[in-house]
Amino acid sequence: MPCWSPLRRRCVPEDFHRALDAAIIGSDQTLMPWLAGEDAGLAIYRNTVAKGRADALAGLFPTVQRLVGEDWFRDAALMFAAEHPPTSPVLDDYGQAFPAWLTRFEPAQSLSYLPPVARMDLAWSRAHRSADAPVATAEGLAGRDLFGSRATLHPSVQLFWFDWTAPSIWLANRPDANPDDVVDWTDSPEGLVIHRPDLTVLHRRLSRAEWLFLDGCRRDLPLGRVALEVQGQALDTDIARLFSGLLSAGLFTHLI
């Protein structure tokens, strides 16, 4: 797009875009060569852009916002946006650095659950936008040498294991959760899987054995090796029943 100064001097588009980006975060002087004095419209544009970035983050991290409130989240989102402006016009991809940023954000230091919750929010978004893929069924695997095969996880699968109740906190504060549910932050280990086998993003807690099984598949181990690893840490696990349950949940695409 060509750009012109009030003196009708042609500028290099890249220079103008860099100056505009700087002006959006407060460095007005960088844009002066393209302005005929002070421009009140710049402040309006700056506020509109800031609101758009904050709204994009709120859409990507609804559970974080529900935990801290709209005002706290908006202020944090504006500060994050000033440090991490978008690198793409597609705001669905924005906010990848937000969970890590929260670990350094001073007002969040007493809220240790926020970064893990932000990671799970981001995982929900990744599962939602993941590639479509067929889902493996028990009928389709009939007659296969399962222990010598490798099970491929659905591309939407996002796996988590925590040494405390982060998944319970996330689940209890999702937009569709019951606001009266009370969840304590305790040191009880919990696993979680988020995935989208069809059109709807699903999530469920995982036992240690289930997480170990899925993690082994994620590492592309043969199912026989996966079974041995699971039984090494969970002796009483019924591997056939566990695999059947995970298969029914739509967590695999095929066996190779």
Using alpha carbons, select from 175, 93, 106 the residue that is nearest to residue 114.
106
Chain segment 42-100, per-residue pLDDT in tens: 555 556 666 777 888 999 999 999 999 999 999 999 999 888 887 776 667 789 999 99
Taking 60 as the threshold, does the pLDDT of residue 244 lie above it?
yes
Residues facing residue 204 across a β-bridge? 193
Domain boundaries, the chain: 39-125, 139-255
Render 64-81 in DSSP notation, one character per residue: HHHHH-HHHHHHHHHHHH
216: which 2 tokens?
């082994």
d(CA 10, CA 3): 6
Render 183-245 in DSSP notation, one character per residue: ----S--EEEEEE-SSSS-EEEEE-HHHHHHHHHHHTT--HHHHHHHHHHH-TT--HHHHHHH
Chain segment 130-167, per-residue pLDDT in tens: 999 999 998 888 777 888 899 999 999 999 999 999 99
Looking only at the bridges linking them, the beta strands covering 190-195 and 202-206 are antiparallel
Taking 90 as the threshold, does the pLDDT of residue 7 lie above it?
no
CB 232 within 8 A of CB 208: no
Q: What is the pLDDT of residue 43?
A: 59
Q: At what angle do helices 223-233 and 208-218 cross, to 10 degrees?
A: 150
d(CA 106, CA 217): 38
DSSP letter assigned to residue 132:
P
148: which 2 tokens?
């010598």
Q: What is the pLDDT of residue 241?
A: 95
Q: Average pLDDT, stretch 179-192? A: 84
CB 171 within 8 A of CB 233: no
Q: Let me know how long the chain is.
A: 256
d(CA 65, CA 158): 21
Q: How many CB atoms lie within 10 A of CB 54?
A: 20
Q: Can you tell me whether residue 150 is helix, strand or coil? A: coil
Residue type, 31: L
